[in-house]
C-alpha cells in the first residue's frame, strides 16, 4: 500500500468530530441555599394553599418540579469548568443571576461546588470544591437548567450541619420546612414555597448516614416544626418546642399555622368558616398566637385578630397571645411557657440550675442565624414578623 493510500485510510478512520462530555456544575452548601431561597420566592404559594399544606403534600416542593439525580460523574471540577457552565446558561434571568454570583465571589465568600475526589485539588479565588466519595441517595441534586444543578434542600441541611451550631441548624430546618413572607414590596397574599418537610429531611439523613453532618442533622430533625410563617414564629416555636436538654422550654409537639374549622356560632363571630392558629395543641385545645407589632399593627387587622381569638374561645379553645417583646424577655417568656405547659401537660416542668445557660445559648444561636440571613430592614423592625 502506497503512502498516499495509508494516509487516506487513516483519514477515513478518524472521526469527523469529537463529542465533548458536558460538565455539570453542582452548587452546594451556602451557594445552593441562596439559590434555593431564590427558587422558593419565584414559586410562591397562596396563603390558603400554605395553610392547607399537609406533611404528605409534595407537589409544591422543588423535587416535584426539577429533575433529580445523584451522580457526580460529570461534575465540573475546575474553576474554568464552573465558569464555562455559567456562561452556557441559556435563560437570560438565570445567567444574569449566576454571573452576579460569580462576580461577587471572593476567597472569604466563595461559590461552593461539589466534585469527585482528586488529589492536589485546592480552592481557587472564587470557588471552593467540596470533594465527596461516598454514594449519595437518589435525588441528592436538582437540575435547574442544562448543566446547572443544586444540592437538594435535604442534602443542604446535612451539609450545613457541619458548620452550624445546634440552634442555627434548628433555625435553618424551620426555614426549609416553613413558608416565610416574600421580599418586601411583593403581595402579602403570597408566601415563599416550602422547600422540605421534617419527614423528608429525616428520611434523607437516614439514607445519607455516611455523609459528614448526617448524625448531627438526625439529632436535630425531631425538634423541627413545619409551616413556620416568619422568622419570629420560628424563634417562638424553637424556644417553646425544643427539649430542655437543648435549651428549649420542652413543650409537647404542636402544629404550626393550622386551620381550625369553626362551629356555626364561631363562624358568625369570625365572619368565616375557619381560623388559622399560629401554634396549636389539638388534643388539649390550646392555641398560642403570635402578635407581631408590624404585621398586626393596622386597625382592621387588630379587629380581625380579636374576632379570631373570640371565635376560638367560643369553640372551647384556650388561647394565649404572645407579643414580640414578650418573646424577647427571658423571664416573661418562661412564665408564658410555664402557663402553656400547665394547659397542655397539666403541670409546669422542673428545670435544672444549668437550664438558663442552655436557654440563653439557644436564643443567641437562633438570633445569630436570623441576623445573618434575615437582617431587619430597619432597627425598629427588630423582633417583628
* Higher-scoring residue by pLDDT: 3, 42: 42
**Number of domains composing the chain:** 1
Which segment, 113-127, 179-193, 294-308, is predicted with the most confidence on average?
113-127
The residues that bridge with 321 in the sheet, in sequence order, are: 289
Within a domain: 94? no
Residue whose cell numbers read 439559590: 35
Provide the residue range defining the domain that includes 295.
228-366+374-385
Residue 11 predicted with pLDDT over 50: no
What would the pLDDT profile of 74-95 be if each residue is shown by its tens digit? 999 999 999 999 999 999 999 9
pLDDT number for residue 362: 98
Cα dist from 20 to 26, 27, 76, 84, 222, whole Å: 19, 22, 13, 13, 46
pLDDT number for residue 381: 44
Cα dist from 358 to 145, 201, 244, 282, 363, whole Å: 44, 25, 8, 29, 9
DSSP 283-309: TTTEEEEEE-TTTT-SHHHHHHHHHHH
What would the pLDDT profile of 313-338 be if each residue is shown by its tens digit? 999 999 999 999 999 999 999 999 99
Proportion of the chain above pLDDT 70, given as a percent: 89
pLDDT number for residue 283: 96
Residue 196 predicted with pLDDT over 90: yes
Within a domain: 175? no
Within a domain: 142? no
Kindly calculate the radius of gyration of the chain based on its CA atoms and give it in whole angstroms.
25
Select from 151, 158, 136, 280 the least CA-distant residue to 214: 158
pLDDT number for residue 336: 97
pLDDT number for residue 16: 39
Distance from the first to the final alpha carbon of the chain: 85
Helix, strand, or coil here: 141? strand
Within a domain: 276? yes
Q: How confident is the model at residue 236 (pLDDT cuts 50, 70, 90)?
A: very high
What would the pLDDT profile of 363-382 be if each residue is shown by its tens digit? 999 999 999 999 876 544 44
pLDDT number for residue 305: 82
**Pick from 17-21, 113-117, 240-244: least confident:** 17-21
Please provide the average confidence, as pLDDT, over all residues in the chain.
90
What would the pLDDT profile of 263-316 be if each residue is shown by its tens digit? 999 999 999 999 999 999 999 999 999 987 544 445 667 778 889 999 999 999
Within a domain: 327? yes
Strand 148-151 to 25-27 pairing: parallel
Helix, strand, or coil here: 176? helix
Within a domain: 266? yes
Quote the CA–CA distance of 169 and 342 in Å, as a whole number: 29
Amino acid at each position: 500500500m502506497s503512502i498516499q493510500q495509508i494516509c487516506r485510510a487513516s483519514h477515513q478512520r478518524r472521526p469527523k468530530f469529537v463529542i465533548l462530555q458536558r460538565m455539570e456544575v453542582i452548587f452546594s452548601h451556602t451557594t445552593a441555599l441562596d439559590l434555593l431561597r431564590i427558587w422558593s420566592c419565584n414559586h410562591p404559594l397562596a396563603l390558603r394553599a400554605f395553610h392547607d399544606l399537609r406533611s404528605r403534600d409534595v407537589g409544591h416542593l422543588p423535587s416535584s418540579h426539577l429533575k433529580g439525580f445523584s451522580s457526580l460523574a460529570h461534575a465540573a471540577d475546575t474553576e474554568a469548568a464552573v465558569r464555562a457552565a455559567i456562561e452556557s446558561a441559556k435563560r437570560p434571568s438565570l445567567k444574569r443571576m449566576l454571573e452576579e454570583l460569580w462576580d461577587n465571589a471572593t476567597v472569604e465568600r466563595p461559590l461552593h461546588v461539589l466534585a469527585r475526589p482528586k488529589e492536589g485539588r485546592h480552592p481557587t479565588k472564587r470557588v471552593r470544591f467540596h470533594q465527596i466519595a461516598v454514594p449519595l441517595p437518589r435525588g441528592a441534586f436538582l437540575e435547574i437548567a442544562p448543566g446547572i444543578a443544586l444540592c437538594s434542600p435535604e442534602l443542604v441541611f446535612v451539609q450545613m450541619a457541619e458548620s452550624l451550631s445546634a440552634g442555627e441548624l434548628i433555625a435553618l430546618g424551620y426555614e426549609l420546612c416553613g413558608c416565610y413572607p416574600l421580599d418586601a414590596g411583593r403581595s402579602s397574599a403570597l408566601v415563599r414555597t416550602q422547600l422540605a418537610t421534617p419527614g423528608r429531611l429525616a428520611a434523607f439523613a437516614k439514607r445519607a448516614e455516611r455523609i459528614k453532618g448526617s448524625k448531627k442533622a438526625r439529632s436535630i430533625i425531631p425538634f423541627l416544626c413545619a409551616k413556620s410563617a416568619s422568622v419570629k414564629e420560628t424563634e417562638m416555636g424553637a424556644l417553646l418546642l425544643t427539649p430542655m436538654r437543648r435549651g428549649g422550654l420542652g413543650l409537647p409537639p404542636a402544629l404550626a399555622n393550622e386551620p381550625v374549622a369553626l362551629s356555626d356560632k364561631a363562624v358568625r363571630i369570625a365572619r368565616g368558616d375557619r381560623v388559622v392558629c399560629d401554634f396549636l395543641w389539638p388534643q388539649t385545645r390550646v392555641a398560642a398566637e403570635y402578635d407581631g407589632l408590624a404585621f398586626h399593627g393596622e386597625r382592621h387587622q387588630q379587629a380581625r385578630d380579636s374576632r379570631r381569638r373570640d371565635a376560638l374561645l367560643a369553640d372551647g379553645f384556650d388561647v394565649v397571645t404572645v407579643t414580640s417583646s414578650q418573646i424577647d424577655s427571658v423571664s416573661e417568656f418562661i412564665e408564658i411557657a410555664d402557663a402553656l405547659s400547665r394547659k397542655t401537660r397539666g403541670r409546669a416542668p422542673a428545670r435544672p440550675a444549668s437550664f438558663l445557660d442552655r436557654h440563653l445559648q439557644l436564643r443567641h444561636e437562633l438570633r445569630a442565624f436570623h441576623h445573618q440571613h434575615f437582617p431587619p430592614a430597619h432597627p425598629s423592625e427588630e423582633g417583628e414578623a
